[in-house]
Amino acid sequence: MSSSETTYYHDIRKLGINKNHWYAVARSIDVKTKPYSITLWHQPVVLYRDQNRKVHALEDLCPHRLVKLSSGRAIDDEIECTYHGWRFKSSGECSTVPYLANNQKLPTCKIRVFPVQEKDGFIWLFPGEKSLQKVISPLAIPEWEHLNYIATVSVIKSHSHYSYLVENLMDMHHGHLHKNWQAWAAAQLIDLSENDQQVDAYYQAQSYYKIDKIWSISQLFFPSLRQLHPEPLNVSYIYPNWVSNLGKDFKIYCLLSPINETETLAYLIHFTSLHAFWRLHKLPEWFRQFIKKSLFGSAQKLLDGLVQQDIEMISQEQQAYQKYPQRRGYELNRALVSTQRLIKNQALK
Ligand code: FES
Ligand SMILES: [Fe+2]
């Protein structure tokens, strides 16, 4: 093996997460008054909205017989277990037992409550030390509200450890896999920097799309109009999430919500920038809102297509790891060594 090759750290595939971060565990549109169940790194949580649309997050376990509270229903800001009808306040205390005798007191059980906030279209949960929740912020996604950006969201459900997904996202040489979708080509790693919070990899790549004139939108439908041209392609693993820029026209986020060692939920958010259309920016705000809303999801087919191909590859990696636990892969990309180092350092913090 040459000195430029590096073997994988194999034990990385069993590592947990650093809980002292905000995790995007659901989309805002998924959470209604009907309880919604999620799992973040082995921790089952029930999410629900109260009458003021505020979201609450409690451990998804009824303290009576340990069934799922998410099978029950929300009543105002309380949640009622479906089995015997015990009710719990959003602060976790039991408020009602329907068959409590006159000489009995309410049980003093208290369900674990998680800090939760709704921001940029997602529900963010903080599973760590409560005292740190104010010191650390969820990843900012300014393009979510900004009128110059059109968003598309694709949900990633993969049967693999989250490290395989992060490595996929940091290794831009895998444009090869997506060649039928003409995502990007010929990536070369130019520079790399890292600290204990993030890894930034700077690639130079070729892009097929250039969104600079109104008519250039037609490239999306007619591949013959696309022309390869050089663009910087920067990817960053900002633990626990990922952000990328391809030139000025495209920005992509991946919000990771690992479920356990072999299941990962993530949200890929693709933004197309309308910054080149300066005439559009002079139109009334309500109209620009209307355009932003109407075009939401316009890259759905492309994004879902890319996600499918990635999921297939990282699932195969997971299966191979389980089948041949002693086998080591070979790696040439320095960005992955830094990525694995960050995963390790954060998980073992
Ligand atoms: S199990 Fe929940 S009320 Fe009995
Ligand atoms: Fe990909």
Cα–Cα distances in angstroms (integers) from residue 144 to residues 33, 128, 292, in the given order: 24, 26, 10
Q: What is the pLDDT of residues 99-148, one digit of tens each?
A: 999 999 999 999 999 999 999 999 999 999 999 999 999 999 999 998 88
Q: Could you tell me the residue ranges of all domains in the chain?
A: 23-128, 142-347
Query: What is the average pLDDT score of the chain?
Result: 91
Domain covering 142-347 assigned CATH 3.90.380.10 in the classification: yes
Ligand 1 binding pocket includes 67 (Cβ within 6 Å) = yes
Check residue 209 and give its pLDDT: 74
Mean pLDDT of 51-78: 97
pLDDT in tens, 23-55: 999 999 999 999 999 999 999 999 999 999 999
Q: Which of 61-65, 127-131, 247-251 has the weakest average pLDDT?
A: 247-251
**Nearest partner of 163 among 39, 263, 21, judged by Cα:** 263
81 Cβ inside 6 Å of ligand 1? yes
Residue in 84, 94, 95, 96 to alter for ligand 1 test, most ligand atoms within 8 A of Cβ? 84
CB atoms within 10 A of CB 241: 24
pLDDT at 3: 39
Is the Cβ atom of 246 under 6 angstroms away from ligand 1?
no
pLDDT beyond 70 at 241: yes
How many CA atoms does the CB half-sphere of 123 hold within 13 Å?
A: 26
Residue 310: Cβ within 10 Å count: 21
86 lines ligand 1 (CB under 6 A): yes
Establish whether domains 23-128 and 142-347 are of one fold: no
Closest atom of ligand 1 to CA, residue 81: 2
- CATH classification for the domain delimited by 23-128, as one of 2.102.10.10, 3.40.50.720, 3.90.1150.10, 3.40.50.11440: 2.102.10.10
This prediction has a pTM of 0.92
Cα–Cα distances in Å, from 305 out to 4, 100, 126, 182?
A: 33, 55, 31, 11
> Does ligand 1 come within 6 angstroms of the Cβ of 109?
no
Ligand 1 centre distance from Cα of residue 242 (Å): 40
User: Ligand 1: which of 64, 71, 106 to mutate, judged by most atoms within 8 Å of the beta carbon?
Assistant: 64
